[in-house]
Amino acid sequence: MIFTVAIDGPAAAGKGTISRAVAARFGFAHLDTGALYRAVGVKGGDPVAAARDLTPEDLARDDLRTLAAGQAASKVAVIPEVRQALLDFQRRFARREGGAVLDGRDIGTVICPAAEVKLFVTASPEVRAHRRWLEVGGDAAQVLAEVRERDERDMNRADAPLRPAEDATRLDTSDLSIEEATARAIALVAARLG
């Protein structure tokens, strides 16, 4: 069975947690596409060459979840040649046998516009900054400023800006627990699977 779940949204909205839970619940493969961009960003050097030469070891680095890696990802993600280098990999993953869940910024709009389920997970910038601050620490005001800066860059980039697909279901997690948000996403996928 080929079945694709596309989950998009801004940083720290909960899409990664929801994606992993949906994949586990239905036995689908999971790809955090942001990890591809984080790996390219932290690899350094020429980002286009880094994207073309990405290895499984690059995706297993311990520093991919840092604020610095997130900022680096957002910067290399605006480079069209980087996006193109990673596009085919993501599309092949999405249509693999056994089902797949991909989370990122442009899965439902660019990578998998024909996905069987499209979800746009969001939350207020303040809630997302607080979540990120709990994860990485640092100065709370600075984390909020970085979240807003990243939103601005991701939503206004020329190539594949962050936005919900027209047929995506929006899920605002600002006032939801992880369990509630995950349950809503699982119910949506279960209904589509019939």
Q: So what's the pLDDT on residue 66?
A: 87
Q: So what's the pLDDT on residue 157?
A: 83
Query: What contacts 71, CB < 8 A, 6 or more positions away?
Result: 41, 146, 150
User: For residue 35, what are the domain limits?
Assistant: 4-193
Burial 146-162 (b: 16+ CB within 10 A, else e): bbeebbebbeebeebeb
Q: So what's the pLDDT on residue 88?
A: 84
pTM for this entry: 0.85
Q: So what's the pLDDT on residue 123?
A: 97
Q: Total domain count for the chain?
A: 1
Yes or no: say if 145 and 126 are a contact pair by the CB < 8 Å rule.
no
Q: Token pair for residue 141? A: 């005001």
Instruction: Provide the annotated binding site for ATP.
Output: 9-17
Q: So what's the pLDDT on residue 139?
A: 93
Instruction: Provide the annotated binding site.
Output: 9-17
Q: So what's the pLDDT on residue 31?
A: 93
Q: Token pair for residue 15? A: 């899409």
Task: Supply the CATH number for residue 34's domain.
Answer: 3.40.50.300
Q: Token pair for residue 81? A: 């040649």
Residues of the chain with pLDDT under 70: none
Q: So what's the pLDDT on residue 27?
A: 97
Q: So what's the pLDDT on residue 104?
A: 92
The DSSP bridge pattern shows strands 117-122 and 29-32 to be unpaired
Q: So what's the pLDDT on residue 161?
A: 86
